[in-house]
Structure 1
């Protein structure tokens, strides 16, 4: 059976919130996104403005030396399709979802809290992975932080370096 790949992208941001999270978790990467092999330039996540479709080429032009880790998870085609459909549903209804700083703060304190329609980046990625059956999580989605994706048995680190290096690896032009 031919397997498909789902990707988890971990990024290091240098804003005040990310620096605080880095301090609290002792983990360099503070942002998580999810993407599909069909478009290696596009990832999906939540930021303080809400649901976001992220473009690697945008990050490369903005801050070429931004550090990243990329993990891949091989899944059955039906699981891949499930992830794809969930991402499209979020994209279509982006305006009804919001970012939750409260949820993130409580996750940092190891206190589970689920606020319907509100997500922080790693909670969103965890929920997509769990609902599709792509991975088994050892904790609730609302407690997942970027570091937790490095511990997934199903995930294999396939790149570590800069965004521009990642773009070169996948032959994506950003100029």
Structure 2
């Protein structure tokens, strides 16, 4: 058995208008999904707001969980132990998207596909859970025979692999303010 690493899935409810609308439909407590490469949540990626005060300007983002939007959010955090090769594949896939981030957009239209259970695929566009699911698929963590990536909701993600529950509550409570948070060894600036 080779060396292993952990990744983390961060599910949040930030209370924004968009998340409240999604929550009304899904009836689930968390409606935003992100993937993190460290327990300290220094390296967190998703598709979401590019500008904190405008939910309609979205795309690929390296999320700042120290922002007021996230610190006040309710969250659930799950971990998954994966091989170093899977970990590197994830990073490579995300870095490819990051290097072309201006060409990627938030898949608002795809949200209607989820609503009507009809896949709407757009080139270079993801919504948050579609992005996280694509990262898992590209690194061969999950095969997705049952559901199209464009129909994956945040609540579906933890069922895609053997994720382990880590924490539930206010994100601010998860962050230990008295501990210096340091980036993981594979830290990339986006």
TM-score for both structures, normalised by structure 2: 0.82
- Please state which structure has a larger fraction of its residues in helix: 1
The 1-side partners of 2:155 and 2:76 are apart by: 11
1:81 aligns with 2:88: yes
Tell me the secondary structure at the aligned position of residue 75 of structure 1.
Answer: strand
**CA spacing shift, 1:169–1:129, aligned 2, 3 Å:** farther
**CA spacing shift, 1:106–1:164, aligned 2, 3 Å:** same
The 2-side partners of 1:14 and 1:38 are apart by: 23
In structure 2, the residue matched to 1:64 is: 71
1:54 aligns with 2:63: yes
More deviation in 75-84 or 150-159? 150-159
In structure 2, the residue matched to 1:4 is: 5
In structure 2, the residue matched to 1:23 is: 24
The alpha-carbon deviation at position 70 of structure 1 amounts to 0.8
Aligned partners of 2:76 and 2:169 also within 8 Å: yes
The alpha-carbon deviation at position 38 of structure 1 amounts to 7.8
Aligned partners of 1:10 and 1:68 also within 8 Å: yes
The 1-side partners of 2:66 and 2:153 are apart by: 25
More deviation in 94-103 or 150-159? 150-159
In structure 2, the residue matched to 1:116 is: 123
RMSD: 2.0
**CA spacing shift, 1:165–1:83, aligned 2, 3 Å:** same
The counterpart of 1:151, out of the listed 136, 159, 163, is 159
Residue ranges of structure 1 left out of the alignment (5+ in a row)? none
The alpha-carbon deviation at position 153 of structure 1 amounts to 4.0
TM-score for both structures, normalised by structure 1: 0.89
Aligned partners of 2:40 and 2:175 also within 8 Å: no
The alpha-carbon deviation at position 171 of structure 1 amounts to 3.5
Q: Render the CA deviation track for 1:20-63: whole Å, top value 9, x for unaligned.
A: 110111101110011112862221111142111102222xx456
The counterpart of 1:171, out of the listed 162, 179, 184, is 179
